[in-house]
Structure 1
Amino acid sequence: MTTQPTSSLVDLTTTAVYGDQKSINYSECPHNDVWNSLQTMQPAYILTICVLGILGNVFVLLVFCIHKKACTVAEIYLGNLAAADLLLVSCLPFWAANVANGFEWPFGLLLCRLVNLGIKMNAYSSIYFLVLVSLDRYVALVHTMSHGRMRRPKFAKLGCLLVWGFGLLLGVPTLIFRDVKYFPKLNVTACYLNYPNTVVELSCDGMLVFLSFVVPVSIISYCTFNIIRALKNQAVERFNAENTERRATLLVLAVLLAFLICWVPFHLFTTLDVLVRADLLIGCDISDVIDICHQIFSYLAFFNSVLNPILYVIVGKNFRKKVRELFEQHGRRSSSVTGFTRSQISSTLKTLA
């Protein structure tokens, strides 16, 4: 028998990156006025992130796809990261409309599941693309003997395909348990997670915290530590000879740092939220602080999808070079077409004369 969760409008604000709502009783802890401010600012903030994220990530994908030179292994990973960010920001307008509509979900059950699946896949896939990026830099700078064998584009594409599949697999609970239901006491039809019982809920959340946070962050931290140590070893002649590798590594480190700053607080408070629902942390004040911080850090996690394209331009010297070459290529093509048109017009006028 399925338990029917109850929600308050406060808990429906926890749509955030995962779009999750908690199952609570109406009589539980009252929330302060911070929630009203958060609810008011959400639609405008989400739509701003959506517009900037779509423009920035489409631009990155166009540069990687249109440029005549084949992408390097690192660029394949970063291109897929941009695609994951684009997937996230493309799903956000639905939640902006949902929040602006008083958490009334007007899009039906199918979009309730697909939109949240897209958001979940971004969260899971993004961090594992960064795991692949970290491993690539680790191999390139620390394990030089494996450099040629392991760092091949075909293996990079296969790795990206596996990450997308893994992200889809981790999103299966969303497809199974997402539901649309009318709550009479709130007078709202909400898109929410309808777990069959608390054990399944806590098991799914605990597994996702472990697989989407503990494991990948541990791998990234280990690789990053060794990458930084290798970069400091200026006595190795290979580093001076392969300046391109160093530039690519600096960009990767900037992207990794931005990701950790934006996402680690969110995952930490997600973990605390799981502990609250498991009754390991008890108290209205604790629950209120965790809920508010979880919501605020969700906004920070959103911003990472906008920040990455900016980092490519600011830190990525090779990326800027590709952009310049594309503009120069377009300029030469336009000049060629213009010159051909003028020659054709001149020839036509001479014939008429």
Structure 2
Amino acid sequence: MTSPSTSFAANFSSVAAHGHQNQANATGCPIGKTEDWVYTALEANILVISALGIGLNLFVLSVFCCHRKRCTVAELYLSNLAAADLLLMSFLPFWAVSAGNRFAWAFGGALCRVVNLSIVMNVYCSIYFLVLVSMDRYWALVKPLSSEKMRSAKFAKLGCVLVWGGGLLLSVPTIIYRETTTYPHLNQTYCSFSSEVQLGFEVMLSAFSFIIPLPIISFCTWKILQALNKRLRRASKPQQKEHKATRLILAVLLAFLLCWVPFHLVRIIELLYRLKVLKECTLRAALGVCRQVFMNLAYFNSVLNPILYVIMGGNFRKKARELFLSPARTMSIRTGNSSLNSKGTFRLRSARLKNILS
């Protein structure tokens, strides 16, 4: 969900464009030279993650969208989450190539804006689809009697439209302020924000994609766990269908927290350095390494979600089998029946011929 490349690329491109001395003056800490293999490894990792993410999320969308049965409310949110992940994965190869070239940008100003727009929209849309799906589980288990309207398909579709619209609206600064800048002395072009805008953008990104939605998700998850615990104590198990859906949602939420919280924490600490609240250079150097590791972990979340659907989602597996295996079985049965009918017809004709000859 949140785009690591927005801050990561900006930091590295500013180092490459302005030199280590300027970056040291801006943060108060000198930054050493980054080896070429780091960029190569980063490019390879992003490309692998992108290829896996595109294939797996297309598979998820095909199951949810092509199955003859309508999606439940939870599945509607998860299918939109898969679409947001697919959007991110589809445009990651551009950043992979840029990363391999020390974040120099070779795709022009229009793609600079479009690629970053898609990535930043994923930032907002993914997290708020998780907010919706956690609220749906909260209403299903904690407020089951008073939430029928809130859990209707009409409300779910409206919520998805609002999330996509809100994500686009919050991404407007990317369209306006993202631009390519060429540095003649380096003969390189970079895609980044201007230094005056970048700090405000990162503050907004952290606030709306992490600080605000995280308490909502945490509250809903806590109440969901309490409700499940109470039902187990009363020896009154929740409905099997609701229980399976809740287990899948909790797994997706846990995966999100494990993949994204470390990176968000690093970004917040880096913001404190930019605001000169923190000045310790040893920690600043460690953050550079952590940023690279956590960035790949965050991207991997878009690959992990489809895997969780297969492992944890019993209803999803059932739909996948019906969608992909049933046609093959039907064709096999039809072929077998056709063969049996042909043999039966041949035997009947042989019997009739024998009667005529006799």
TM-score category by the smaller chain? 0.7 to 0.9
Alignment-derived partner of residue 201 in structure 1: 198
Task: For residues 193-227 of structure 1, give each alpha carbon's deviation from its aligned partner in whole angstroms, at most 9, with x where no partner exists.
Answer: 125x2xx4333322221111011111000000000
Partner amino acid, structure 2, of 1:287: R
Q: How does 1:207-226 map to 2 (within 5 A)?
A: 207-226=204-223
Cα distance, 1:335 vs structure 2:
2.7
Query: What number of residue pairs does the alignment pair up?
Result: 335
Alignment-derived partner of residue 68 in structure 1: 68
Contiguous gaps of at least 5 residues in structure 2: 350-358
Partner amino acid, structure 1, of 2:138: Y
Runs ≥4 residues deviating over 4 A: 17-20, 32-37, 235-239, 339-347
Contact 1:129 1:160 in 2 (8 A): yes
Partner amino acid, structure 2, of 1:205: E
> For the residues of structure 2 that align with 1:311 and 1:344, how far apart are their CA atoms?
44
Cα distance, 1:278 vs structure 2:
1.6
Task: For residues 266-289 of structure 1, give each alpha carbon's deviation from its aligned partner in whole angstroms, at most 9, with x where no partner exists.
Answer: 111111111111222224333322
What secondary structure is seen at the aligned counterpart in 2 of 1:146?
Answer: coil
> For the residues of structure 2 that align with 1:249 and 1:239, how far apart are their CA atoms?
16
> For the residues of structure 2 that align with 1:76 and 1:238, how far apart are their CA atoms?
31
Task: For residues 102-143 of structure 1, give each alpha carbon's deviation from its aligned partner in whole angstroms, at most 9, with x where no partner exists.
Answer: 433111101000001111111111110000000000000000
Q: Does residue 329 in structure 1 map to residue 326 in structure 2?
A: yes
> For the residues of structure 1 that align with 2:338 and 2:176, how far apart are their CA atoms?
59
What secondary structure is seen at the aligned counterpart in 1 of 2:104?
Answer: coil
> For the residues of structure 2 that align with 1:244 and 1:224, how far apart are their CA atoms?
18
Alignment-derived partner of residue 261 in structure 1: 258
Cα distance, 1:322 vs structure 2:
1.3
Q: 1:309 aligns with which of 306, 310, 324?
A: 306
Alignment-derived partner of residue 39 in structure 1: 39
The RMSD of aligned alpha carbons is 2.7
Alignment-derived partner of residue 161 in structure 1: 161
Partner amino acid, structure 2, of 1:314: I
Q: 1:319 aligns with which of 312, 316, 319?
A: 316
Q: 1:16 aligns with which of 5, 11, 16?
A: 5
Q: Tell me: CA distance 1:232–1:116, structure 2 relative to 1, closer, same or farther (3 Å).
A: same
Contact 2:114 2:175 in 1 (8 A): yes
Q: Tell me: CA distance 1:102–1:160, structure 2 relative to 1, closer, same or farther (3 Å).
A: same
Cα distance, 1:86 vs structure 2:
0.4
Task: For residues 221-268 of structure 1, give each alpha carbon's deviation from its aligned partner in whole angstroms, at most 9, with x where no partner exists.
Answer: 000000011111135879625111011000000000000110111111
Cα distance, 1:148 vs structure 2:
1.9
Cα distance, 1:328 vs structure 2:
3.6
> For the residues of structure 1 that align with 2:211 and 2:124, how far apart are their CA atoms?
12
Cα distance, 1:342 vs structure 2:
5.8
Alignment-derived partner of residue 3 in structure 1: none
Mean Cα deviation higher: 264-273 or 323-332: 323-332
Residue identity (%): 51
Alignment-derived partner of residue 11 in structure 1: none
Partner amino acid, structure 1, of 2:111: L
Contact 2:228 2:238 in 1 (8 A): no
Mean Cα deviation higher: 14-23 or 82-91: 14-23
Partner amino acid, structure 1, of 2:268: T
Q: How does 1:171-190 map to 2 (within 5 A)?
A: 171-190=171-190
What secondary structure is seen at the aligned counterpart in 2 of 1:103?
Answer: coil
Q: Tell me: CA distance 1:283–1:36, structure 2 relative to 1, closer, same or farther (3 Å).
A: farther
> For the residues of structure 2 that align with 1:159 and 1:98, how far apart are their CA atoms?
35
Contact 1:19 1:116 in 2 (8 A): no
What secondary structure is seen at the aligned counterpart in 1 of 2:199?
Answer: helix
Cα distance, 1:291 vs structure 2:
2.8
Partner amino acid, structure 2, of 1:278: L
> For the residues of structure 1 that align with 2:146 and 2:236, how far apart are their CA atoms?
16
Contact 1:269 1:290 in 2 (8 A): yes
Q: Tell me: CA distance 1:223–1:346, structure 2 relative to 1, closer, same or farther (3 Å).
A: same
**TM-score, normalised with respect to structure 1:** 0.86
> For the residues of structure 2 that align with 1:187 and 1:270, how far apart are their CA atoms?
30
Cα distance, 1:290 vs structure 2:
2.2
